[in-house]
Structure 1
Amino acid sequence: MNLLSLRYFIVIAEYLSFTKASAHLFITQPTLSRQILDLEEELGVQLFVRGRHSLSLTKYGVRFLPEATEIIRKCDNIREIVRKEDDDDGSIIGLLSIGYQGFLDTKLMHHTLKSVAKKHPRIDFSLSGGSPPELRHHLLINKCDVVFALNSCVANIPNIACIKLQANELQIAVPRNHRLSKYDSIDMKELANEDFIMLERKISPFTVDYATSLCMKNGFSPNASYYVDDAEKALLLVGSGKGITFLHSANNINRPDETYDIKVLSIEGIDNNLDFVLAFKRDHTNPIIPIFVSELMSFNEPNN
């Protein structure tokens, strides 16, 4: 068994596609398939269920994934592991892998990174932005030690601890000259005949599903005039008068009303759990996680 085949297995498990994995790894698909077949033969089990248009992990693959991920993690950090044994100055050495949603306010993350790096200069960080499904998956397979995300992204995952960082609500952004712009809050039923600019579901399925269900509960299905892959594009289209869109209050766009010539409205009578949180596994083994969390909490004053 070689490390290269383990790395290939992890990437395929992440994408659940030989085509996408081979493109990511810059190798041919037949080469990648051969590596996995050799790995399966060596293990004596089938790791993937191969359908005509789908790929999924078998129960053996699910069991093997965290073990392979941990082996690769330790091998990637072998220099730090060896040096730690002979370290005489008591300084902490290691790597913390951090995932985050790009459109959320990451100032708190930046402050924490800077502070930890100053106090523990031999700690390294790996940062990766991702969509909610990607972050959820990366947390599950231990590719990320901690993730900054919306609570809906990590809800219902067993053994996950969440620290609330910022209250977050779903809002509506309308053009400045829209008929509803004279209000500060609206009832969802007033939006039944509006054109919506929607995020593509693959970008944020939890939020899109929640927003769609909110419309359905109020007696209509949202009429999507545009689909976009980030919040900034949606706001640009709103400011151009092309429709309205849903917006998180905990976004990283400073003063969106002025920047995009829009009006942001609260939605009356909704109860959601979309707070901005830091999530990590309760049974984590990375000793840097409690250091990072402690430093984070020294900056954080939850907005309850």
Structure 2
Amino acid sequence: MSRHTIELNQLRHFVVVAEELSFRRAALRLNITQPPLSRQIALLEHTLGTQLFDRTNRAIRLTPAGRRLLLEATDILTRTETAMLAVRQAARGKAGEIKIGFVPSACIEVIPQITRRLRDRMPDVTVTLCEVMTAEGIEMLQAGSLDLGIIRLPRRSPGLPLEKLWSEPFILAAPRNHPLLAQRKITLDDLHEIDFIGYSKERGGFLAEVVEGFLSARGISPNTLYAVAQSHTVMALVNEGFGVALVPRSNGRIAMANTVMRDIDLPADDLHSDLYLALRPNQPEPLLRDVAELIRAELTPHILPRPKE
């Protein structure tokens, strides 16, 4: 076999000739003259050390080696075009892989919302989701094992730029037969000394600080029977009738059969559940910038408190 290499252009010319079974028609299709086309095919045959076409005065047809090369060449050219398209899309921020870390409370509404939008708007981007606590997410961002984080506001400065991404008001979750539900209007004072499910300061720290700080500042002291980390556990305990809870509005999506969600007279501008967007350090590539911008456009209109008109 010759030491010459096979060029993609030779394979393209070969495929057209094989499809047309005519050098004349193939040359027209390729917008070249017939002699250089014939030379390209002859050089390809020389490089491969085998004849690819049986030629007669009337027609040409593929040899067994030519039929095999047609299959391989078609596959090579298809994969080459796919690779080139993927590279161009990646350069424009339209393809690639993004690893998103998120705190568990974001999984109820925020993560489904943004992953749906990413699939609709950027279908060639592979999204890897990773559930993290805020401190863990910051460490992974700093180490480069996450590209983007949707986290709570940390107690200490993370050394990363943070921007508020999402806010939602709190509502009341109560067992279906709870006496409070008989009231036409439920007020904050109604929670004083009532059996209550709260958030753990150790694991559900952000929500614990927000809810407890808000109630304490207004002199409201519910009878907290349990303090747990995750919203799913809060909702399960409410569903079993242990008490009521103040939960972010999105928790209504995971309410169980024995749970009723009710609005309560709370100032949304003072009590809201917030999520923050953090990007890994260093200059982000176009793909990460585009994904972050899409997420901002999807979620930031919901930020509380709303500007005064």
In the other structure, the counterpart of 2:88 is 90
In the other structure, the counterpart of 1:53 is none
In the other structure, the counterpart of 1:235 is 235
Alignment of 1:148-297 (within 5 A): 148-150=150-152, 152-153=153-154, 157=158, 159-162=160-163, 164=165, 166-181=166-181, 182-187=183-188, 189-251=189-251, 253-254=252-253, 256=255, 259-269=257-267, 271-272=270-271, 274-280=273-279, 283-297=282-296
What CA distance in whole angstroms lies between the structure 2 residues aligned with 1:235 and 1:95? 34
Which deviations, in whole Å up to 9, do the C-alpha atoms of 1:155-177 show, x marking residues without a partner?
9655524253x431233322233
Residue 111 of structure 1: CA displacement? 1.5
Give aligned-pair identity as a percent.
17
Structure 2: state its 5+ residue gaps. Answer: 1-82
Alignment of 1:42-191 (within 5 A): 89-92=87-90, 94-104=96-106, 105=109, 106-115=111-120, 117-118=122-123, 121=124, 123-150=125-152, 152-153=153-154, 157=158, 159-162=160-163, 164=165, 166-181=166-181, 182-187=183-188, 189-191=189-191
Evaluate the alpha carbon distance shift between residue 177 and residue 228 of structure 1 in structure 2; reply closer, same or farther with a 3 A threshold: same
Runs of 4+ in 1 over 6 A off after TM superposition: none
TM-score of the two chains, using structure 2 as the length reference: 0.56
Find the residue that maps to 1:167 and give its secondary structure.
Answer: strand
What CA distance in whole angstroms lies between the structure 1 residues aligned with 2:184 and 2:286? 50
Q: 1:288 corresponds to which letter in structure 2?
A: L
Residue 192 of structure 1: CA displacement? 2.2
What CA distance in whole angstroms lies between the structure 2 residues aligned with 1:274 and 1:235? 16
CA contact (8 A) 2:204 2:230 kept: no
The number of aligned residues is 211
TM-score of the two chains, using structure 1 as the length reference: 0.57
Evaluate the alpha carbon distance shift between residue 239 and residue 135 of structure 1 in structure 2; reply closer, same or farther with a 3 A threshold: same
CA contact (8 A) 1:236 1:260 kept: no
Find the residue that maps to 1:91 and give its secondary structure.
Answer: helix
In the other structure, the counterpart of 1:67 is none
Larger radius of gyration: 2
Structure 1: state its 5+ residue gaps. Answer: 1-85
